[in-house]
Structure 1
Amino acid sequence: MIQDLFSDSTEQLDDGAWLLRGFALEKAVPLIAAIEAVAKAAPFRHLVTPGGFRMSVAMTNCGAYGWVSDRRGYRYDAVDPDTGRAWPAMPSSFLDLGREAAQAAGYAQFNPDVCLVNRYTPGTRLTLHQDRDEGDFAHPIVSISLGVPATFLWGGLARGDKTRRYALYHGDVVVWGGPSRLRFHGIAPLKSADHPLTGNLRFNLTFRRQGS
């Protein structure tokens, strides 16, 4: 699927950063089924930050690598520390959509090898942060929203820069790279809501490229 970057369903957040409204809607049902399959092999868990704080968002991974955090720091690992096994393979439905969304935003050569799967319940949040644990910042980030709405926080290149707020709905996709690759971003505390496919939950798929 190629999306017109100047259509009414596309919003430019900054140079190299785009919000693609409803881009994943047609594939939402198989995506949610694939999330369930991934979670059976690598269950959702609440990671601990290097400072010892428990993250409110539950997460898991699929692909060649997974993003993990504990007292030793943030990093990528080819092995799930909870199971001692390799992370489940990235479902083709994930990989295809991640590539298509990147291409629609102008990143034609994106080939993700990591997909973080975040699960939000009412009240959970993701504080402002940069995605900077990857080996090469030349690759964009692709973020897909499924389930109940959320408020996306979009900041600058410094933590103290002004933050803008965007409502994200089921099927929306945000892609950022190039000069916007290291912008701070996050999710405000999730409000209580209900969605016919996910109940009171929001799922987020975040595609990255870690390997060379």
Structure 2
Amino acid sequence: MTLDLFGERRDEAIGPGAMILRGFAPGDALLDGVEQVARLSPFRHMLTPGGRQIGVEMTNCGPLGWVSDRRGYRYEAVDPATGSPWPAMPTDFAALAKAAAAQAGFAGFHPDACLVNRYAPGVKMGLHQDRDEAGFDAPIVSVSLGLPATFQFGGTDRKDPIVRHAVAHGDVVVWGGPSRLAWHGILTLKPGEHPQLGRCRINLTFRQAGQR
């Protein structure tokens, strides 16, 4: 957590309409929800449209879930691995996402998709834009749990400079408005041991994926 001289949490602006909320998420309280989701829709390695295995293990919760296979990137209401709807989004997940969005200046956020990513040491997420949603008016809310990581954040043009930001257990990154289509990613996760999660990092990415 980053504190100011008076011991209060300090939010960090990283771009227009983008900030890191240090220590905003009650990280330990979210881990039970991750386990509940994974029991119903286990983590798995998805494939890119080109047939390459994605290094990060993924699952989803909420009315919609992000999927990737040879048919492309998209959102679906049914988990293709189980044939059942994605697990319901835990109430504390949704409450956190709404509160973080409001703290960053985006009131009225209603996430209908939560992509849950699990990183092992040596795994990364390449630079990309989140653009599979039906619209781009709502922000992205990204919660870090477990091992620390280096979050890369740039502009909406692939040629814009990329800045690296350390993110730790409980940090939340929110971006929207002018930065909604910013390029972003995670550098290769370094080895380590987290007290609750061990040798991994969990990322919860909340999106308003469908039409409202």
Query: Which position in structure 2 is the counterpart of 1:87?
Result: 86
Superposed CA offset, 1:36-55 (max 9, x none): 01000000000100111111
Q: Which runs of 5+ in 2 are unaligned?
A: 1-7
Query: Which position in structure 1 is the counterpart of 2:172?
Result: 173
SS of 2:54's equivalent? coil
Query: Which position in structure 2 is the counterpart of 1:77?
Result: 76
Instruction: Report the Cα distance in structure 1 between the residues aligned to 2:43 and 2:160, rounded to whole angstroms.
Output: 32
Query: Which position in structure 2 is the counterpart of 1:12?
Result: 13
For 1:13, the aligned partner's letter is I
Comparing 7-16 and 112-121, the one that deviates more? 7-16
Tell me by how many angstroms 1:160 deviates: 2.7
For 1:61, the aligned partner's letter is N
Tell me by how many angstroms 1:164 deviates: 0.6
Q: Is the 8 A contact 1:126 1:187 kept in 2?
A: yes
Percent of aligned pairs with the same amino acid? 58
For 2:151, the aligned partner's letter is F
Q: Which runs of 4+ in 1 moved over 3 A?
A: none
Q: How many residues align?
A: 204
Query: Which position in structure 2 is the counterpart of 1:182?
Result: 181
SS of 1:46's equivalent? strand
Q: Is the 8 A contact 2:9 2:23 kept in 1?
A: no
Instruction: Report the Cα distance in structure 2 between the residues aligned to 1:114 and 1:69, rounded to whole angstroms.
Output: 15
Query: Which position in structure 2 is the counterpart of 1:48?
Result: 47
Superposed CA offset, 1:10-57 (max 9, x none): 110111001110001xx2222011100100000000010011111100
Residue 211 (str. 1) matches residue 189 (str. 2): no
How high is the TM-score relative to the length of structure 1?
0.94
Q: Which runs of 5+ in 1 are unaligned?
A: 1-6
SS of 2:47's equivalent? coil
Query: Which position in structure 2 is the counterpart of 1:62?
Result: 61
Q: Is the 8 A contact 1:12 1:19 kept in 2?
A: yes
Query: Which position in structure 2 is the counterpart of 1:3?
Result: none
For 1:41, the aligned partner's letter is L
Q: Spell out the pairing of 1:94-109 with structure 2 (5 A cutoff).
A: 94-109=93-108
Instruction: Report the Cα distance in structure 1 between the residues aligned to 2:196 and 2:106, rounded to whole angstroms.
Output: 30
